[in-house]
Structure 1
């Protein structure tokens, strides 16, 4: 059994073939899709966060709205770039969204990836400390977020407050007691996956990672997951680890599916550079008739190692078509692979 969710980048553009012409279209359709996905049995609604782009950015209003309109589906991010964040304000936002949803928030964070603008986090008012890289800054801010989200008091109370204070140092409010155990780290390397395990965060591994061995993508990703699990066990955390992998998977069951995706599947992995000096490997996408999909996916070692599969969706094609895409996987693919 696996949890199956969707991952939306939330694109919009004033393009005649898009159902999402504006930011408002994307936000409102994201809510509608999460509601519909819950109704068909999808386990999670996850959203990417990109700044300075016509894509979803500030996640907490959207997650809170989805949390208020649903009752079972997990809601999350994949991932929030911590270089741009105020960790303390984020603790308050995350706590509120989690309480609104009744404890369903699965918050994916990361040190960040290449962005739309040069050093975009500088426009948000953040600078690495002396001797830090921007990646170091992202990890430092992540650790501060993890520390403060535990709900331990740290701030000296005013002796003459506007409202009475509880005794002792004050924590950030609202506080969600179990949220600390539902934080995920997006790791692009084996080392950061191990680091995430040591810090007690779940693992999100996407459709790319640094090429560390030259092996096929799914094998490298499976090795990353095994290293993560070993490090988690060694760390002795009290809660169970979770691992998600992302995939582009399309079951071609209608002529519309074949028109959109029949020629788009990448038959093999590809390579590129997401940073100037670091080669990355990008996993192939899957698009085929259900029987062929089942054969191909059965050999994906990383999916086998993960407990959660996030299906990347073409959000610009609208709610109805994306419900069809997700339904096709649940109906025609998941049962044969033992995911359902």
Structure 2
């Protein structure tokens, strides 16, 4: 059995073929999609976070709205760029969203992906510590966030407060018990996957990772997952780790499917450079008739290693068509692979 969710980038543009032409369209359709996906039996609704782009950026209002309108589906991010975040304020926002959802938040965080603007986090009044890289900053702020999620008091109370204080040092409120154990780290390398395990975070691995061996993408990703699981075991955590991988998967069962995605049949991994100096490998898309799709996916080692599969969806095509995509996977593909 696998948990199967969707991952939306939340694009919008004033384009005649888009169902999401404004930010309002994207936000409201994201809520509707999560509600419909829950009714379909999908396990998770996850959203990307990108600043300075016509995409979803501030996730907590959206997650809170989805949490209020659903009752079972996991809601999460993949991922929040910690370089931009104030960890203290983020603890409050995350706690509120988790309480609204009844403890269903699965919070993916990371150092972040290549940005739309140069050092965009500086516009958010964030800066590097001495001798620190932006990757170091992202990890430092992630650890600050995790520490404050524990709910241990740290702030000295005012002796003359507006409202009475409980005894002792004060913590950030609202506090949501258990959220600390539902934080995931988006890792692009083997080393950061191991680091995430050591700090008790679940692992999110996307369709991109650093090309560390020259092998096919799914082989490298499977090795990353195995290293993560071993590091988790070595760390002695008293709970089970979770691992998600994301994939673009389309079952071609209609002429419309073939029109949109037929050209992706036979897709292959791609290798390129990100951030000018890092060689990365991008996993292929899967698009085929269900029988062929099942055979191709059965050979994906990383999907076998993961307990959660996030299906990247073309949110610009609207709620109804995306539900069709998800339904086709659940009905025609997942049972034959033992995912359902």
The CA distance in 1 between the partners of 2:265 and 2:19, in whole Å, is: 23
Corresponding residue number in structure 2 for 1:15: 15
- Per the TM alignment, residue 264 of structure 1 is displaced from its structure 2 partner at its CA by 2.3
Q: Which whole-Å deviations, capped at 9, do the CAs of 1:133-177 have from their partners, x for residues lacking one?
A: 011001000000000000000000000000000000000000001
- Per the TM alignment, residue 266 of structure 1 is displaced from its structure 2 partner at its CA by 5.3
Unaligned runs of 5+ in 2: none
Corresponding residue number in structure 2 for 1:84: 84
The CA distance in 2 between the partners of 1:53 and 1:265, in whole Å, is: 29
Aligned residues: 340
Corresponding residue number in structure 2 for 1:165: 165
**Kept after mapping to 2: 8 A contact 1:49/1:80:** yes
Partner of 1:312, secondary structure, is: strand
Partner of 1:109, secondary structure, is: strand
Corresponding residue number in structure 2 for 1:273: 273
Indicate the larger mover: 274-283 or 228-237: 274-283
Unaligned runs of 5+ in 1: none
The CA distance in 2 between the partners of 1:118 and 1:266, in whole Å, is: 36
The CA distance in 1 between the partners of 2:94 and 2:61, in whole Å, is: 10
Corresponding residue number in structure 2 for 1:196: 196
For 1:302-317, list aligned pairs within 5 A.
302-317=302-317
Corresponding residue number in structure 2 for 1:324: 324
Runs of 4+ aligned residues of structure 1 deviating over 2 Å after TM superposition are: 264-267
The CA distance in 2 between the partners of 1:40 and 1:268, in whole Å, is: 31
Q: What TM-score do the two structures reach when normalised by structure 1?
A: 0.99
For 1:60-75, list aligned pairs within 5 A.
60-75=60-75
- Per the TM alignment, residue 206 of structure 1 is displaced from its structure 2 partner at its CA by 0.1
The CA distance in 2 between the partners of 1:51 and 1:105, in whole Å, is: 21
Q: What TM-score do the two structures reach when normalised by structure 2?
A: 0.99
| Structure 1 position 47 matched with structure 2 position 39 | no
**Kept after mapping to 2: 8 A contact 1:268/1:283:** yes
**Kept after mapping to 2: 8 A contact 1:265/1:284:** no
For 1:1-340, list aligned pairs within 5 A.
1-265=1-265, 267-340=267-340
The CA distance in 1 between the partners of 2:330 and 2:87, in whole Å, is: 37
- Per the TM alignment, residue 39 of structure 1 is displaced from its structure 2 partner at its CA by 0.2
Indicate the larger mover: 267-276 or 60-69: 267-276
Q: Which whole-Å deviations, capped at 9, do the CAs of 1:112-144 have from their partners, x for residues lacking one?
A: 111000000000001101100011001000000
Q: Which whole-Å deviations, capped at 9, do the CAs of 1:220-264 have from their partners, x for residues lacking one?
A: 000000000000000011111000000000000000000000012
The CA distance in 2 between the partners of 1:13 and 1:103, in whole Å, is: 33
Indicate the larger mover: 263-272 or 96-105: 263-272
The CA distance in 1 between the partners of 2:76 and 2:172, in whole Å, is: 21
The CA distance in 2 between the partners of 1:16 and 1:179, in whole Å, is: 41
- Per the TM alignment, residue 40 of structure 1 is displaced from its structure 2 partner at its CA by 0.4
Q: Aligned Cα RMSD in Å?
A: 0.5
Q: Which whole-Å deviations, capped at 9, do the CAs of 1:286-340 have from their partners, x for residues lacking one?
A: 0000000000000000000000000000000000000000000000000000000
Q: Which whole-Å deviations, capped at 9, do the CAs of 1:162-221 have from their partners, x for residues lacking one?
A: 000000000000000100000000000000000000000000000010000001000000
